[in-house]
Amino acid sequence: MRVVAHVDMDAFFASVEEKMNPRLAGHPLAVGGDLKRRGVVSSANYEARKFGVRAGMPNGEALRLCPDLTLVEGNPQKYVHVSLQILEVLKDFTPFVEPFSIDEAFLDLAGAPRLMEAKIGAKGAGVGAGAGPRAPGDLLAAAIPIARSIQRAIHRRTDLTATIGIGPNKYIAKMASGVEKPRGLTALTQEDYRRHFWPLNVKELWGIGEKTRIALEKLGIATIGQLAHFPKEFLTYHFGLNGDRMRDAALGEDDGEVVPYYKGVPVKSMGHEFTLDRDVDSRERIGAHLLRLSDQVGRRMRQDGYLGRIVSVKLRDSKFRTTIRQRALPYLMNDESLIFKTSSALLDENWDGRPLRLIGVSVSGLIASGNAEQPSLFDTDERRRKMIEAVDSLRDRFGDAALVRAGAIK
């Protein structure tokens, strides 16, 4: 049996800001996007959450809910720096650490020495006289002191607090970390998981959004327990592969491995999005933003060594209605001109002229450049490849702002 811990930093961005500027502590605080534009809240401390301030909420709405809110502009480099410090702490406990996001990680604790003792005990081979087979709960219980040590070590190194969930797999560990926050520590066996979550609404499941909740409700599925008992064939019929995944989630079944940081988690897509200063309905201005975003995505793909085939565009209008459309290309590429051309076509086919507040571009279906079996477009366009290499080389040396496409300046 595996023992997986999910480490989730408490209100991470807001806590980093409080740590660096202690005068912010104890007051409602939110970290938002560019304060000169209409960004959204990316993290709120617990004082702000009491007023209903949540991540994903527009800055203006957060200030309406909590007029005393302090809104600080986010700084990704700052958070990445602290995130790497936390990764160093986690690596002291086990090499099997999978960074899941900037403020979350999964740990396979089976390699931690004290758990090994418990495992030896489970085989009846030497932890005390008469040690017999242990229940799954015993193994998870053995992980609790390790998790406490992890929480203390993170606090010592960074002055920040973390919540930890423990379970027999990644899904249960992730759900367990949501049971009690901040500074929580919850261990759930599969039976505990079912007892705790089955009476709750399906929206409590990680990965189920509002649209899926409504679709499930139409099938008469309201609770997680009902989802777990729903015939698999029906779910597959209605939701395809996601139907299987949802049922596994409800049952607390997950055979996904903890992929250690040194193996790297395969990247599935790369994208950038941008909230506009004000709603924009000018095709020319939207095109300029698409060009800039396409440029950023292509550059990042080349820097990280990826080629991709599926281009997506994301449009959010002033009423927060979001449209995502994608198109598969017949070849692999990481050229911003092709990303721009495809995203522009998608825009023209799917945009009815309504004012937009957010635009995004992404490329998926990624594979590492070195693993590409089919030729990329660059293999047939040497001149373009050399030009892009020259631009990349200048940006590598002088920074991304050194060269900007004229069309992106509108």
Which of residues 210, 382, 399, 409 is near another protein by CB under 8 A? 399
- Span near another protein by CB under 8 A; candidates 184-192, 337-345, 354-362, 399-407: 399-407
The reply to whether 401 sits near another protein by the rule CB under 8 A is yes
Which of residues 26, 50, 60, 68 is near another protein by CB under 8 A? 68
Q: In this structure, what are the phi and psi dihedrals at residue 235, rounded to the nearest 5 degrees?
A: -65, -40
Which among 108, 92, 74, 84 is positioned nearest to 9, based on CA atoms?
Answer: 84
Which lies closer to another protein via its Cβ, residue 5 or residue 62?
A: 62
**What is the smallest separation between the CB atom of 24 and another protein, expressed in angstroms?**
8
The reply to whether 403 sits near another protein by the rule CB under 8 A is no
Token duo for residue 399: 């920074």
- Span near another protein by CB under 8 A; candidates 43-51, 61-69, 236-244, 377-385: 61-69
13 neighbors 26 (Cβ within 8 angstroms): no
Tell me how far apart the terminal alpha carbons of the chain are, to the nearest angstrom. Answer: 58
Dihedral sign (CA 105, 267, 81, 39):
negative
Active-site positions read 104
The reply to whether 297 sits near another protein by the rule CB under 8 A is no
Q: In this structure, what are the phi and psi dihedrals at residue 133, rounded to the nearest 5 degrees?
A: -60, 140
**What is the smallest separation between the CB atom of 132 and another protein, expressed in angstroms?**
51
3-class state of residue 49 by DSSP: helix
Which among 229, 233, 234, 206 is positioned nearest to 218, based on CA atoms?
Answer: 234
- Span near another protein by CB under 8 A; candidates 133-141, 283-291, 298-306, 391-399: 391-399
Number of residues in contact with another protein, rule: CB under 8 A?
30
Which of residues 81, 183, 195, 283 is near another protein by CB under 8 A? 81
Which lies closer to another protein via its Cβ, residue 34 or residue 348?
A: 34
The reply to whether 156 sits near another protein by the rule CB under 8 A is no
Token duo for residue 373: 């079996």
Which lies closer to another protein via its Cβ, residue 159 or residue 204?
A: 159
- Span near another protein by CB under 8 A; candidates 78-86, 174-182, 214-222, 319-327: 78-86
Token duo for residue 209: 């959004």
280 neighbors 355 (Cβ within 8 angstroms): yes
Longest dimension (CA), the chain: 78
Which of residues 4, 11, 16, 112 is near another protein by CB under 8 A? 16
Which lies closer to another protein via its Cβ, residue 135 or residue 402?
A: 402
Block residue for tokens 């050229």: 335
Count of CB atoms within 10 A of residue 28's CB?
Answer: 23
297 neighbors 336 (Cβ within 8 angstroms): yes
**What is the smallest separation between the CB atom of 84 and another protein, expressed in angstroms?**
10
Binding site for another protein (CB under 8 A): 16, 19-23, 27, 35-36, 67-73, 75, 77-78, 80-82, 395-402
